[in-house]
Amino acid sequence: MAGDFLREFGYDKTKLELVQKCILNHRGSKVMEKQSPEEICVADADSISHFDAVPSLFYLAYVQRKLGIDDGIDFVKNKLNRSCPKLSERGKEIYKDKYEQVISLLV
Protein backbone atom coordinates (compact mmCIF):
# COMPACT_ATOMS: atom_id res chain seq x y z
CA MET A 1 0.00 0.00 0.00
CA ALA A 2 2.72 2.49 0.98
CA GLY A 3 4.78 1.45 -2.03
CA ASP A 4 1.97 2.23 -4.45
CA PHE A 5 1.30 5.56 -2.76
CA LEU A 6 4.96 6.62 -2.80
CA ARG A 7 5.47 5.50 -6.41
CA GLU A 8 2.65 7.88 -7.41
CA PHE A 9 4.71 10.72 -5.93
CA GLY A 10 7.87 9.71 -7.75
CA TYR A 11 9.86 8.23 -4.86
CA ASP A 12 12.94 6.42 -6.08
CA LYS A 13 13.33 2.72 -5.33
CA THR A 14 15.91 3.20 -2.56
CA LYS A 15 13.77 5.66 -0.58
CA LEU A 16 10.67 3.60 -1.20
CA GLU A 17 12.32 0.47 0.25
CA LEU A 18 13.61 2.44 3.25
CA VAL A 19 10.14 3.79 4.04
CA GLN A 20 8.64 0.32 3.70
CA LYS A 21 11.23 -1.11 6.12
CA CYS A 22 10.47 1.68 8.61
CA ILE A 23 6.77 0.87 8.45
CA LEU A 24 7.36 -2.86 8.75
CA ASN A 25 9.81 -2.65 11.66
CA HIS A 26 8.39 0.17 13.78
CA ARG A 27 5.94 -1.83 15.87
CA GLY A 28 7.22 -2.91 19.24
CA SER A 29 4.75 -5.79 19.46
CA LYS A 30 6.61 -7.51 16.61
CA VAL A 31 10.28 -7.49 17.45
CA MET A 32 12.21 -7.03 14.22
CA GLU A 33 15.82 -5.99 13.89
CA LYS A 34 16.08 -2.33 13.01
CA GLN A 35 19.07 -1.79 10.77
CA SER A 36 18.93 1.79 9.56
CA PRO A 37 18.92 5.00 11.60
CA GLU A 38 15.52 5.77 10.05
CA GLU A 39 14.04 2.48 11.27
CA ILE A 40 15.38 3.10 14.78
CA CYS A 41 14.04 6.66 14.76
CA VAL A 42 10.52 5.65 13.68
CA ALA A 43 10.38 2.78 16.19
CA ASP A 44 11.57 5.08 19.00
CA ALA A 45 9.02 7.72 18.00
CA ASP A 46 6.26 5.13 18.24
CA SER A 47 7.26 4.18 21.80
CA ILE A 48 8.02 7.75 22.87
CA SER A 49 4.58 8.88 21.72
CA HIS A 50 3.08 6.97 24.65
CA PHE A 51 5.01 9.10 27.15
CA ASP A 52 3.92 12.29 25.42
CA ALA A 53 0.27 11.23 25.27
CA VAL A 54 -0.50 9.95 28.77
CA PRO A 55 -3.91 11.69 28.86
CA SER A 56 -4.94 9.80 25.72
CA LEU A 57 -3.94 6.54 27.40
CA PHE A 58 -6.23 7.40 30.32
CA TYR A 59 -9.01 8.22 27.85
CA LEU A 60 -8.48 4.83 26.23
CA ALA A 61 -8.55 3.10 29.63
CA TYR A 62 -11.50 4.88 31.23
CA VAL A 63 -13.72 5.98 28.37
CA GLN A 64 -13.16 3.48 25.61
CA ARG A 65 -12.38 0.39 27.69
CA LYS A 66 -14.52 1.47 30.66
CA LEU A 67 -11.97 0.30 33.22
CA GLY A 68 -12.22 1.11 36.91
CA ILE A 69 -9.77 3.48 38.61
CA ASP A 70 -7.15 0.90 39.65
CA ASP A 71 -7.44 -1.13 36.45
CA GLY A 72 -7.07 2.05 34.39
CA ILE A 73 -3.91 3.04 36.24
CA ASP A 74 -2.53 -0.47 35.78
CA PHE A 75 -3.38 -0.34 32.08
CA VAL A 76 -1.45 2.92 31.61
CA LYS A 77 1.52 1.75 33.72
CA ASN A 78 1.71 -1.53 31.84
CA LYS A 79 1.59 0.23 28.48
CA LEU A 80 4.44 2.55 29.48
CA ASN A 81 6.42 -0.30 31.06
CA ARG A 82 6.13 -2.26 27.81
CA SER A 83 7.13 0.76 25.72
CA CYS A 84 10.32 1.71 27.55
CA PRO A 85 12.34 -1.48 26.90
CA LYS A 86 11.52 -1.22 23.19
CA LEU A 87 13.45 2.03 22.88
CA SER A 88 16.92 2.09 21.41
CA GLU A 89 19.75 2.66 23.88
CA ARG A 90 19.86 6.31 22.84
CA GLY A 91 16.09 6.61 23.23
CA LYS A 92 16.25 5.08 26.70
CA GLU A 93 18.94 7.57 27.66
CA ILE A 94 16.95 10.55 26.37
CA TYR A 95 13.60 9.49 27.88
CA LYS A 96 14.83 8.02 31.18
CA ASP A 97 13.85 11.06 33.27
CA LYS A 98 10.46 11.47 31.62
CA TYR A 99 9.71 7.76 32.07
CA GLU A 100 10.60 7.92 35.76
CA GLN A 101 8.53 11.09 36.26
CA VAL A 102 5.43 9.66 34.60
CA ILE A 103 5.69 6.31 36.40
CA SER A 104 6.17 8.07 39.77
CA LEU A 105 2.79 9.76 39.29
CA LEU A 106 1.09 6.42 38.73
CA VAL A 107 2.41 4.63 41.82
pLDDT 10s digits, 29-52: 666 677 788 888 888 888 899 988
Distance between CA atoms of 84 and 92, rounded to whole angstroms?
A: 7
Distance between CA atoms of 20 and 25, rounded to whole angstroms?
A: 9
**Nearest by Cα to 99 from 61, 43, 44:** 44
Composition of the chain by helix, strand, coil, percent to 5: 75, 0, 25
Expressed as residue numbers, the domain containing 7 is: 2-106
| CA torsion through residues 51, 53, 55, 60, sign | negative
Q: What are phi and psi of 36, to 5 degrees?
A: -100, 155
| CA torsion through residues 104, 45, 74, 32, sign | negative
Domain tally for the chain?
Answer: 1
pTM for this model (two decimals) = 0.74
pLDDT in tens, 6-21: 889 898 888 888 888 8
